[in-house]
Amino acid sequence: MTSLPQTRQGAKKLGLVIDLDICVGCQACAVSCKEWNGGGHSAPLTDSSPYGENPDGIWFNRVHSFEISDADGQSRLLYFPRSCLHCDDAPCVTVCPTGASYKRAEDGIVLVDADLCIGCKLCSWACPYGAREYDEDDGVMKKCTLCVDKIYNPNLPRSSRLPACVSACPTGARSFGDLGDADSHISQLVRQRHGYDLLSEAQCQPTNQYLPPRPKRNSQNESQGEEVKRLPASTKDTASLLKGWMNKLLPTAKNEA
């Protein structure tokens, strides 16, 4: 059914919270997602020419990286995992002509019924985030299922009933929970860290929230009053530059963080 379900305030909205401050771009979430979905609801995830010149394939989670330069010319890297945000006002659901694309009323997960999908690709055009990909082999659209076959799976221990990407993340950058419950752990996390809707201008009301990178510590915003050691100016000679660098690098009683 491609009309969006009517849900009441406070209804269960399962989703992910992705912390852009601690994601290190290791790609473990992307790989574990691919591996889990190789055997589950959306299997197989087609790869064409995987060892050839132009490999192509379906991945539900892709980790981008960006370089951010601020006004001072300081740069930092941002690692950005992109996957379906299970939007409340999901345009991919309403544009589907067959009813294959649907949003579950009980938990808000957006899924594709591969038996109904005709592969017209309109849902992938409608999604501003590029969450949906077309499988050339199966002729249907595929997307993140929020591991619906893992989170409710009675054959797994409770601690494993999380999306594969959340289980795999080594830094704890990914969290899973009920964003419709204001008192849940991840709703509190979103409030504390000022989590936000991605590309809110597209008006999809995404469920998944992203936590912004924290400001970089530099002489402009020393929050703890601790003097941040900086490299000496280049007027000094190489030996003292090296010494200064070694001092900064090696932990001592004085500068141990």
Partner 1 sequence: MHPAKSVIFFTLLSGLGLGVMNIAFAAILSGHTGSARVGLILVLGVFCLGSGLVCSLWHLGHPERAWRALSQWRSSWLSREGVMACVAFLPPLAWLGLEYLAEPLNRNLEAYLAILALIVNVVTIHCTAMIYASLKPIPAWHNGYTPLNYQLLSLMSGSIISLWLLNLYAVRPPVLYIVTALAVVLAAVAKIGYWRFLHVRKPIFNINQALGVSGDIRAFDPPHSAANYLMKEMMFDFARQRILPLQILTLLLAFVIPLLYVGLSWWGGVQFGIYFGGMAGLSMLVGLVCERWLFFACAEHSVSLYYGSRQV
Closer to partner 1 at the Cβ: 145 or 151?
A: 145
> Which segments of 179-237 are extended strands (E)?
209-211
Q: Provide the 3-class DSSP secondary structure of residue 21.
A: coil
Angle value at C-alpha 120, between 114 and 121, nearest 5 degrees:
90
Residue 196 within binding range of partner 1, rule CB under 8 A: yes
Among 12, 40, 44, 94, binds partner 1 (CB under 8 A): 94
The Cα–Cα gap between 248 and 228 comes to: 10
Residue 148 C-beta: closest distance to partner 1, Å: 22
CA–CA separation, 92 vs 122, rounded Å? 8
Span near partner 1 by CB under 8 A; candidates 89-97, 155-163, 167-175, 233-241: 89-97
Q: Of 5, 213, 232, 244, which lies in the binding site for partner 1, with binding defined by CB under 8 A?
A: 213
Question: Are 67 and 79 spatial neighbours (Cβ–Cβ below 8 Å)?
Answer: no
Q: 48 or 153: whose CB is closer to partner 1?
A: 48
Of residues 129-158, which lie at the interface with partner 1 (CB under 8 A)? 129-130, 133-135, 138-140
221 touching partner 1, by CB under 8 A: no
- Among 14, 23, 45, 63, which residue interacts with partner 1 (rule: CB under 8 A)? 63
**Position among 16, 32, 36, 59 found at the interface with partner 1 (CB under 8 A):** 59
24 lies in the site for partner 1, by CB under 8 A:
no
Using alpha carbons only, what angle is made at residue 144 by residues 80 and 187, rounded to the nearest 5 degrees? 65
Token pair, residue 237, equals: 């000679």
Nearer to partner 1, 89 or 222 (CB): 89
Angle at 162 between CA 57 and CA 154, to 5 degrees: 105
Contact between 40 and partner 1 by CB under 8 A: the answer reads no
CA distance 139 to 118: 7
Residue type for position 103: K
Query: Considering the rule CB under 8 A, would residue 203 count as an interface residue with partner 1?
Result: yes
Cβ pair 140, 41 in contact under 8 A: no
| Residue 252 C-beta: closest distance to partner 1, Å | 34
Q: 88 vs 151, which CB is nearer to partner 1?
A: 88
Bridge pairing between strands 14-19 and 209-211 = parallel
The binding site for partner 1 (CB under 8 A) comprises: 1-4, 20, 25, 30, 53-59, 62-70, 77-78, 80, 82, 91, 93-100, 116-122, 124-130, 133-135, 138-140, 196-203, 210, 212-213
